[in-house]
Structure 1
Amino acid sequence: MDASTSLKHRMARNANAIVNFVQVSLLISGLMLFIITFNRSIEQLAIIDAKHKTEVEYRVAAPLDIAPADPAPETLTPKMHAALGYVSQRYRVSAAALEPIFAAAQLTGRKLRLDPLLIIAVIGIESRFNPFSESSKGAQGLMQVMPRFHRDKLPEGAGQLSFFDPVVNVGVGAQVLEESIRRNGGLVAGLQQFAGAPDDEEQAYATKVMAEKQRLEQAARAGATKDA
């Protein structure tokens, strides 16, 4: 009886030892697998980090493709700003609608060496600042430009209705006016040619434009004095 019991105890201890050995072996194997997996993860993270740094460095080093900013809008001089107020009241046109017209006249006048107030005076006489004005002879827009004679002066890509565009019309009309003055040797003769009345001995058109220009200049001076 005692021998049998002793044998059972020894077998139980051996079984426990085997189980413990297996458990320890599994624990060690699991730990080794964890270490291997962890090391591989570290390596992969290092690779990803290096790749990310390379991409960042490339983006920083690569030249930036930035579209050029739109040109700043033309700022009216105090003289032109005062004249705009006069025109707004005289012709009952909102200042907001007149601003691009005056800006175009100022910019074009500077390029062509024309007094911008002369351009504004011509617009007042020709169309009373109605950009959709059209004469019985086919003259169109603010400065009543004849499309069949001056289509070559349109900017590239301009459409069929461009002469009714205020800014385009001012640009083309001012070119026609400058050419008329230059070719006819003077302001009065140039204005008469611009109006298609070079043989008018009374020079009625030039007289109207010059009178309107004088009113604009008076308004500009008054506005400048008031601001001062």
Structure 2
Amino acid sequence: MFASTIFSPALGRVSSVALALFQKFLMVAGLVFVLALIGLQIGYPGLINGLKSLVPSAVASVPEQAVGELGVASAEPLLETLSPRMQGALNYVSRRYRVSTEALQPIFATAQTVGRELRLDPLLIVAVIGVESGFNPFSQSVFGAQGLMQVVPRFHLDKLPEEADHQSAFLDPVTNVQVGARVLEESIRRNGGLENGLQQFGGAIKDPARRYSLKVLAEKQRLEQALQRQSVSAT
């Protein structure tokens, strides 16, 4: 009882793994010793060296098991592979906005994934990001809008994953694109079309000139034209 109040469950698991490692080592070492004696008896001393090589490989499997039992996180899953269309758009954005391709990779992969889920053109999401923040994930407006798609946190906390930190989640590029794309899809659906939805998303629903939607659509057109030029140059 005293030991259970002092040692944490994690420490208990460490002890169990260490004991398993020691037991396995003794078992293999004992087997090697017995077989080595047999080898000497039958006049085959080379058997000893062969058996020694078995010890490291047999014991090496235990640390891998220990890692799993201790709950050590494995490597994060790879991001979704970009389609040729999205990869071409990424290359264009990298040159135009002077942002590294490595920094853009998770942004474009998320736009591709969430775009497919919400039935939004991922290039539209990318165009909104370009207009809203110029691909600066730490951008913040005077009205409190944050991140790549300039989402206002107090209005969209319900769209965050349960485990997200409400204080900083909207500055995370992947989370911001996930939430921002949902806000965009909701705006388009509720306002009866793309242009009205964009105006709502940009907080300019009453602008008769529709300047915000025109700006986003012009950005999307530039992306598509860049892809066409890349396609022509490739042929």
- Structure-2-length-normalised TM-score: 0.67
Shift of 1:120: 0.2
Higher relative contact order (CA 8 A, sep 6+): 1
- Aligned-partner Cα distance in 2 for 1:68–1:212: 39
Shift of 1:223: 2.4
**Which residue pairs with 2:125 in the alignment?**
119
Shift of 1:109: 0.3
What are the ranges of 5 or more consecutive residues in structure 1 without an aligned counterpart? 1-47, 50-64
CA distance change for structure 1 residues 68 and 225 in 2, over 3 Å: closer, same or farther? farther
2:235 aligned with 1:208, yes or no? no
- 3-state secondary structure, aligned to 2:156: helix
Percentage of identical aligned residues:
65
Kindly indicate whether the alpha-carbon contact (under 8 Å) linking 2:79 and 2:106 is maintained by their aligned counterparts in 1. no
- 3-state secondary structure, aligned to 2:126: helix
Shift of 1:226: 3.6
Kindly indicate whether the alpha-carbon contact (under 8 Å) linking 1:181 and 1:191 is maintained by their aligned counterparts in 2. yes
- Structure-1-length-normalised TM-score: 0.69
Kindly indicate whether the alpha-carbon contact (under 8 Å) linking 1:79 and 1:221 is maintained by their aligned counterparts in 2. no
User: Of residues 132, 135, 138 in structure 2, which corresponds to 1:132?
Assistant: 138
**Which residue pairs with 2:180 in the alignment?**
173
1:41-60 map, 5 Å = none
**Which residue pairs with 1:188 in the alignment?**
195
Shift of 1:220: 1.8
- Aligned-partner Cα distance in 2 for 1:81–1:223: 11
**Which residue pairs with 1:158 in the alignment?**
164
- 3-state secondary structure, aligned to 1:141: coil
- Aligned-partner Cα distance in 1 for 2:106–2:97: 16
User: Of residues 219, 224, 228 in structure 1, which corresponds to 2:231?
Assistant: 224
- Alignment root-mean-square deviation, CA: 2.5
| Count of residues paired in the alignment | 172
> In the alignment, residue 132 of structure 2 is paired with which amino acid?
E
**Which residue pairs with 1:103 in the alignment?**
109
**Which residue pairs with 1:197 in the alignment?**
204
